[in-house]
Amino acid sequence: GAGVSQTPSNKVTEKGKYVELRCDPISGHTALYWYRQSLGQGPEFLIYFQGTGAADDSGLPNDRFFAVRPEGSVSTLKIQRTERGDSAVYLCASSFSREYEQYFGPGTRLTVT
Amino acid sequence: AQSVTQPDIHITVSEGASLELRCNYSYGATPYLFWYVQSPGQGLQLLLKYFSGDTLVQGIKGFEAEFKRSQSSFNLRKPSVHWSDAAEYFCAVVKAAGNKLTFGGGTRVLVKP
């Protein structure tokens, strides 16, 4: 079946611009996660949704980062006033709420110039 | 807070030789443990997981891992590596279902012909 999809696969933006990254989870998965992976590092947690609500947003680095999941399926990660330090691969994962396994998408590579 | 350490940043192994990747975790109770593999330009693929029971777990692609509570370790092994095993490997822990994964820094495996 279809896995987690993320669009765009690559995004280049200028410092100070606004970007949106989209995640389409596996059908039926109620839990959705965003992670950020900087070069040479392991993924770091950003935010977790259970249904439409953010159950844990403790990983968001500052108030420039925001994510929504209005209908409990697709999620959008929004970054305002991008900085060069935001350059990374942004990974999305989904799971059934009572399962431990998370299934990852291919990621969006964000480059801020 | 839980943490995961992968002491080896890079490992080079000859094709056909055995491979062992180390993972140590720090957590107050027995966490749920995972190994993921990430090939260049690809998302994270789950190799295997440990929740409870038999401490030696089998995964996909001929990998296995052993949980050792006394050493807080969850090392990944493969008896005979193939050139296609060249990738980055991440150990991860989660404390409960519907919680964030905490990843180690990763080990990059290079396979010599």
- How far apart CA B45 and CA A112 sit, in angstroms, is 27
Rounded to the nearest integer, the mean pLDDT of chain B is 92
Residue B69 DSSP one-character state: G
The model's pLDDT over A51-84, given as tens digits with 9 standing for 90+, comes to: 999 989 999 999 999 999 999 999 999 999 999 9
Reply yes or no on whether the pLDDT at A6 is more than 70: yes
Identify residues of A whose CB sits under 8 angstroms from chain B CBs: 4, 31, 33, 35, 40-45, 48, 50, 55-56, 59, 91, 93, 95, 97-107
Q: How confident is the model at residue A100 (pLDDT cuts 50, 70, 90)?
A: confident
Cβ of B90 and A33 within 8 Å? no
- How far apart CA B77 and CA B19 sit, in angstroms, is 5
Which helix H or strand E contains B93, and what residues bound it?
strand B87-94
Pairing of strands A53-56, A65-68: unpaired
- Could you tell me the CA-to-CA distances from A27 to A73, A102, B45 in Å, in that order? 8, 13, 18
Note down pLDDT in tens along chain B; length 113 residues.
779 999 999 999 999 999 999 999 987 677 889 999 999 877 899 999 998 888 999 999 999 999 999 999 999 999 999 999 999 999 999 877 668 899 999 999 999 99
How many residues comprise chain A?
Answer: 113
Rg (CA), chain A: 13
- Could you tell me the CA-to-CA distances from A12 to A19, B4, B23 in Å, in that order? 9, 32, 35
- Could you tell me the CA-to-CA distances from B31 to A46, A96, B54 in Å, in that order? 20, 19, 15
Residue of A nearest to B108 (CA): A40
Residue of A nearest to B42 (CA): A106
Q: What is the DSSP string of A39-95?
A: TTS--EEEEEEETTEEEE-TT--STTEEEE-TTSS-EEEEE-S--GGG-EEEEEEEE
| Residue burial A62-88, b: 16+ Cβ < 10 Å; e: rest | eeebebebeeebebebebeebeeebbb
Would you give the distance in Å from CA A8 to the centre of its chain?
A: 12
Question: B85 to chain A nearest CA, in Å?
Answer: 18
Rounded to the nearest integer, the mean pLDDT of chain A is 94
Which residue's structure tokens are 């977790």?
A48
Say if residue A106 is preceded by a cis peptide, omega within 30 of 0. no
